[in-house]
Amino acid sequence: MRVLITGAGGMLGQALGPVFAAAGHHVMPLRRTQLDVTEAREVDLAFAELRPELVIHAAAYTQVDRAEAEPHIAEAINRFGTAIVAEVASRHRAPVVYLSTDYVFDGTWTTPIPADAPVAPINAYGRTKWQGEEVVLALQPEAYIVRTSWLYGAGGPNFVDTMRQLAVTRPQVRVVTDQIGSPTWTVALSRMLVDLVATGAYGIYHASGQGSCSWYGLAEAIWAQMGYTTPLLTTTSDSMGRPAPRPAYSVLDVSKLEALRIPVPTWQSQLTDYLSLPAG
């Protein structure tokens, strides 16, 4: 299948291309410098030239805290850029995979959140990603809306790599204990997406690491696997003073994927696989 990937230069985009290629697809990865999704003419021309049979829309504004100060920029990319991609994909009869986020929820759940749960974003980033979900469903119903959480991987800033750096450069490291979620490796997510698009079962899905932990728990696991001795201390979200509020609980229920017999590895096994790779 001819697969066009938007945002191919991002952390997730860099993982998607090799995984889909390894599965036998003809991958056409486009970075932001090659395709600005907010420019309708650029999107039109790209589709006309490349003739994709599937679009993985990974292009997104993902700077959660900056979005509070510049929501118009986040909306331009996550809502209006997504609308352009979805509309052109519909005209070309190309199904869309739209990558969304656990941040469409407000954090008040206490059990894993099902894919059909009502959304209630509490920050600008989450709101604009939810708007992106809505426009995809309206403009190209042949779509997979895939929410994921706590992504990390090669090729972009992420919590796991930040912790590895701090562990060897700081005298101590503080990490919050009052946010609970499911860490997800970009490569593992990409593999789940390969399996999902093979089913042809359009709809809304949750895809993340199986299980849950706090950010502190994730850091503890990194420390244990890497043998770090730097003191690891607890703190709270309030003490961090970040502009954007985060959901306190955003564990995603992945049972809808499992019902399709799609393997969902535990967050611990995903982390082990990632940390076993050569650094850099």
Among residues 125, 144, 202, 216, the one annotated as catalytic is 125
Q: Are 243 and 69 in contact (CB under 8 A)?
A: yes
CA dist., res. 2 & res. 50, Å (int): 8
* Catalytic residue check, 125: yes
- Cα angle 111-114-115, degrees, rounded to a multiple of 5: 155
Residue bearing tokens 């043998």: 227
DSSP 246: -
Q: Which amino acid is at 162?
A: T
Q: Residue 17, Cα to own-chain centre: how many angstroms?
A: 15
- For 143, counting Cβ atoms within 10 Å of its Cβ (0-12 exposed, 13-18 middle, 19+ buried), the class is buried
Give me the active site residues, please: 125
